Chain A
Amino acid sequence: MSRHIFARLFTRQAISVVLAVGLWAAAPVAAGEDALAGTVLVKGRPERNVVVWLEDGTGARPVASRKVVLDQRQLQFKPHVLAVRVGTQVEMPNSDRVFHNVFSFHDGKRFDLGLYPVGTARTVTFDRPGLSRIFCNIHPNMAAYVLAVDSGYFAVSDSQGQFILAGVPLGSYTYHAWRPGGQTTTGTVVVGADRKLEIRWP
């Protein structure tokens, strides 16, 4: 029985590693650009939901035009951690069975969307950098984080602690990494020379 569980876990991890390597290999790379892959470890273990971004002095990359969604399903926000570029509109649909009242009253973007029914959506523009803690005023166990960064190069780590920043112009960058409940960590990375970034929290 335990061998079966270990085999399943091993298989799942192996698939994730293969997928991550595949994504990294398949990431579009133009001349003068490279993909930066990395791993986040907390106390030596892979950490999900870590936002990693590069300081982007150029501002050359435009805000994504695709719809960014913070969904409400099964009495939970999905995803739990969302990273967006400053200026991004985030749609917050109620895909649940019950009413929700999404709000943010702490740092970052402050808003109160009021009560809205199943099947409807409201939109918030995150127009300045910072962390917004998102809650539902009816369901206190619902919580999410939206981190708006002033950068075109950011990613959120997956369940294996892995992330990929694609299409980064070659050069030296200051990177930042933030995780729920932890301090932001900062360092430098040379895109083009350092193919793999490992971020560790003790």
Chain B
Amino acid sequence: MTRWIAALSLLLLGQATTIHGQEVAVEAAQSFGLSTEEIAGAGTQARVLGDITPGLRFALEGAWGARSGEHDSDVFGTAYPYEGGVQVIEAFGEYFFAPQRWVRSVKGGRYRTPFGIYAASDHAYVGFLRPPLIRYGEYYALSSGYLEHGVDVVVGAPRLSVEVSLGTPGDVGDAIRRSGVGTVVRAAGSAGSLIVGVSYIDTTPYLPAEFATGRARFGGVDARWMGGGVQVRGEWLGGRPFDGTTTTGGYADVIVHRPVMGPLTALVRAERLAYSAAEPYALYTHRYAAAVRVRLWKGLATSVGISHQAGQLTQSRPTAIDIGVTYAARHDF
């Protein structure tokens, strides 16, 4: 299926400027990164976004990544995989109904798993160079590389909506779920600048069937608020990655970009994760991170982050410093 999606993506890329004269945008981002974990990474992301007809939009996204180093690490994996060659990330069409309709949108194709704070723009290029612990595939929770092949429907009003996804896994990255139908339900409401959501996922585990039996099921809450250039957000989830195990964890971020800071954005994160399983597989850990993102010139930005952790994470040392440089460009047709 991925091969067909890739072929369709290339076809649409070629036609991007001529689809019914509607607006089409092409974005590309090139990133390089270095970490004191003796790991270097490079990645490219490209996407095409546009309207096919009024109300009907499409999005195609592909990514390539490569990483040096001899051990696993979650560095640079905020929203995209840094291994596995060229991969299709998202490829979907989405129809938006008139605002007064009860059904707000229907999406079909390949898209990010709609659990919690899941949009790529919420994690990529923000300034953090590592994903939250609950979103790195090897920590028995969810993965920033989880993708669905399916249908996603949003119903309700803008200030209180429910999103339901029915699909099969199409994951990229380290955690690839086994085949099988899965469901995600997410409800979100807002009051002023506060947005709160609750999510539930019932899916297949990413670990082998001979050792991870049963289903993976998680519930979670997320919230975000922003005002005066300060964004506070966080997620908490709990559930079972497979029979006989539980995972709980979450993170809280503060992202500050006030006018006096010019091109600089400051970020801090505190997070924890507990995976309860038979010894020696159990994992109890926490991590604290701080980072700055500096916009150097137009689409060129650099991020520097320091993280300190306790527990048996893939990070090889308790403290790591990561540096990333990204150039992003966009062209609207």
Residues of A within 8 A of B (CB): 73-76, 78, 95, 97-99, 101, 103, 105-106, 112, 114-120, 137-141
A115 vs chain B, min Cβ distance (A): 4
- Asked if B69 lies at the interface with its beta carbon under 8 angstroms from chain A, I say no
| Among A98, A119, A138, contact of B231 (Cβ-Cβ < 8 Å) | A138
A to B contact number (C-beta, < 8 Å): 76
**B252-290 at interface with A (beta carbon < 8 Å):** 257, 259, 265
CB distance from B246 to the nearest CB of A (A): 31
**In the complex the two chains form, is B330's CB within 8 Å of A141's CB?**
yes
Please tell me if the beta carbons of B299 and A76 are within 8 angstroms of each other in the complex.
Answer: no
Q: Which residues of A contact B224 (CB under 8 A)?
A: 99, 115
Q: Which residues on A sit within 8 Å (CB–CB) of B332?
A: 76
- Whether A119 pairs with B104 at a CB distance below 8 angstroms is yes
- Whether the pair B190, A116 counts as a contact (CB closer than 8 A) is yes
CB <8 Å contact, A76 and B25: yes
Q: Which residues of B, 97-143, contact A by the 8 Å Cβ criterion?
A: 99, 104, 119, 121-122, 125
Residues of A near B265 (CB, < 8 A) are: 140
B84 at interface by CB-CB < 8 Å: no
- Encoded as 1 (CB less than 8 Å from any A CB) or 0, chain B from 294 to 333 comes to 0100010100000000000000000000000000101010
CB-CB under 8 A from B188, the residues of chain A are 117
Q: Does B95 contact A (CB under 8 A)?
A: no
User: Do A140 and B193 have beta carbons less than 8 Å apart?
Assistant: no
Name, among B23, B99, B104, B193, the residue most crowded by chain A CB atoms within 10 Å (CB to CB): B193
How many whole Å from B180's CB to the nearest CB in chain A?
27
Measured in the bound complex, the distance between the Cα atoms of B166 and A181 in whole Å is: 47
The smallest beta-carbon distance between A159 and chain B, in angstroms, is 10
A76, B195: Cβ atoms under 8 Å? no
A114 contacts B192, C-beta separation under 8 Å: yes
**B158 contacts which of A78, A117, A138 (Cβ < 8 Å)?**
A117
Please classify the interface of chain B as helix (H, G, I), strand (E, B), loop, or mixed, using the class held by over half of its residues. strand
B229 touching A99 by the CB < 8 A rule?
Answer: no
Residues of A within 8 A of B161 (CB): 119
Known: A115-B225, A119-B158. 13 other contacts (CB 8 A): A74-B23, A74-B49, A99-B195, A101-B193, A101-B226, A106-B259, A112-B229, A114-B193, A114-B226, A117-B188, A137-B231, A138-B122, A138-B226
B227 partner residues in chain A, CB cutoff 8 A: 112, 114-115
Chain A facing B: main interface SS: loop
Asked if B121 and A137 make an inter-chain contact with CB atoms under 8 angstroms apart, the answer reads no
A106 to B262, CA, bound (A): 11
A98 & B122 in contact (Cβ 8 Å cutoff): yes
Contacts of B23 in A (CB 8 A): 73-74, 78
Q: In the bound complex, what is the Cα–Cα distance between A103 and B228 (angstroms)?
A: 9
Contacts of A105 in B (CB 8 A): 259
Interchain CB contact under 8 A, B193 and A115: yes
Shortest distance between the CB of B295 and any CB in chain A (Å): 6
Decide if A140 touches B25 in the complex (CB within 8 Å).
no
Do residues A115 and B231 form an inter-chain contact, with CB atoms below 8 A?
yes
A120 pairs with B159, CB closer than 8 A: yes
Minimum distance in angstroms from B331 CB to a CB of chain A: 11
CA distance A75 to B48 in the complex (A): 12
Do residues B195 and A74 form an inter-chain contact, with CB atoms below 8 A? no
Q: Which residues of B contact A116 (CB under 8 A)?
A: 190, 193
B239 at the interface (CB under 8 A from A): no
**Are B121 and A120 in touch, CB under 8 angstroms?**
no
Residue in chain A with minimal CB distance to B119: A98
Q: 10 tightest A-B contacts by CB?
A: A119-B158, A114-B193, A105-B259, A115-B226, A115-B193, A74-B49, A120-B158, A98-B119, A117-B190, A101-B226
B228 engages A112 (CB within 8 Å): yes
CA–CA, A97 to B122, complex, Å? 12
B266 CB, nearest partner CB in chain A, Å: 13
Name the distance in Å between B127's Cβ and chain A's nearest Cβ. 10
Q: Does B145 contact A (CB under 8 A)?
A: no
CA distance A70 to B317 in the complex (A): 48
Report the bound CA distance from A97 to B47 in whole Å.
15
Cβ of B43 within 8 Å of any chain A Cβ, yes or no, is no
List A contacts of B231 (CB < 8 A).
Answer: 101, 115, 137-138
CB distance from A140 to the nearest CB of B (A): 6
Q: How far is the CB of A67 from chain B (nearest CB, A)?
A: 14
Residue of chain B at shortest CB distance from A106: B259
> What chain A residues lie within 8 Å of B193 (beta carbons)?
101, 114-116
Please state if B257 and A137 are interface contacts (CB–CB under 8 Å).
yes
Task: Tell me whether A76 and B226 are in contact in the complex, defined as CB-CB below 8 angstroms, given that A99-B195, A115-B193, A118-B158 are known contacts.
Answer: no
**B220 interface residue per 8 A CB criterion:** no
A74-B49, A116-B190, A117-B190 as given contacts; A139 in contact with B121, CB under 8 Å: yes
Inter-chain contact B328/A141, CB cutoff 8 Å: yes
Q: What is the distance, in angstroms, from B5's C-beta to the closest C-beta of chain A? A: 19
Asked if A138 and B121 make an inter-chain contact with CB atoms under 8 angstroms apart, the answer reads: yes
Does any Cβ of A come within 8 Å of B50's Cβ?
A: yes
Which interface residue of A74, A78, A114, A118 has the most chain B CB atoms within 10 A?
A74
